[in-house]
Amino acid sequence: MRKLYFLCGGGCNRFEVTDFVHYLDEEITVIELPGHGLEKETQLANLDDLVAWFGQKIDPESDIILIAHSMGANLAPYLATQIPAIKQLILLDGGYYDFDALMSLDDEIADTKSYFEQMNFDRLEDFVEMSRADAPYWSEHLEQAAQASVYLTRDGHYQLNMVEDTFLTLLGLQRACQGFLTQVICNTVLIPQTVDCPDWKTAMLEAIPAYITIDSQLFCGHSPHTECPEKLAKVVRTYLV
């Protein structure tokens, strides 16, 4: 029996996936990354921890279809090489990055720490409105996702609802997972960013092995499940095995 799982991206939460799950009309277990949402207390130190953690979230006796976004998609190919139960990957703009070609890990960590410091808001409404203003699609579930993305600190400000140290660890782990897309033997579909796609992504897409299906039919950015959930569901449905 097959089972579907959705592995969220960095900085994302389970509420972001609700509309996509609705339109797909399939039973899906949504898994947030360590340091996020229901997994906020989960800590990882290495790839063995990653595999052990993910293995506890799935039914290893089922044929697993793993849909993964962004950072989740960057981890997914490695997971597929370690967990035979994963029979299909559907990657939403991730899994193909060469991070070392972009910047050093030290620089990425420094930039991320700076970003965490900048994400400081006096009112919850300010963060929600910022999220809404940048969104090509909006719904009550995305409103819920935005509200869950920050928390009220003791000094009365709203900050990102993630464990910073865990997120920084994930930055290193996703680098350790890069390159494993070429070692995946299960059926794999990649749905990349097509709107305002940077040149470095275009170049990296060209290096993907021919046996990986690249579906570029959607007119979308980095997060198709929040930008065009209904259209994404139609595309994903055609690939489900």
pLDDT tens-digit profile, the chain (241 residues): 999 999 999 999 999 999 999 999 999 999 999 999 999 999 999 999 999 999 999 999 999 999 999 999 999 999 999 999 999 999 999 999 999 999 999 999 999 999 999 999 999 999 999 999 989 999 999 999 999 999 999 999 999 999 999 999 999 999 999 999 999 999 999 999 999 999 999 999 999 999 999 999 999 999 999 999 999 999 999 999 8
Residues 114 and 122: their CA atoms lie apart, in Å, by 18
What is the extent of the structural domain holding 47? 2-239
What does the pLDDT read at residue 220? 97
- As for how many domains the chain has, the answer is 1
Residues in the chain: 241
Which of 77, 83, 72 lies closest to 6 in space, CA to CA?
72
- The alpha helices in the chain, defined as continuous H runs, are 18-24, 47-57, 71-82, 105-118, 124-133, 140-148, 164-176, 199-206, 224-227, 229-239
0.85 exceeded by pTM: yes
What does the pLDDT read at residue 23? 98
List phi, psi (to 5°) of 96. -120, 5
Which CATH number belongs to the domain containing residue 186 in this structure? 3.40.50.1820
**Cβ atoms of 232 and 208 closer than 8 Å:** no
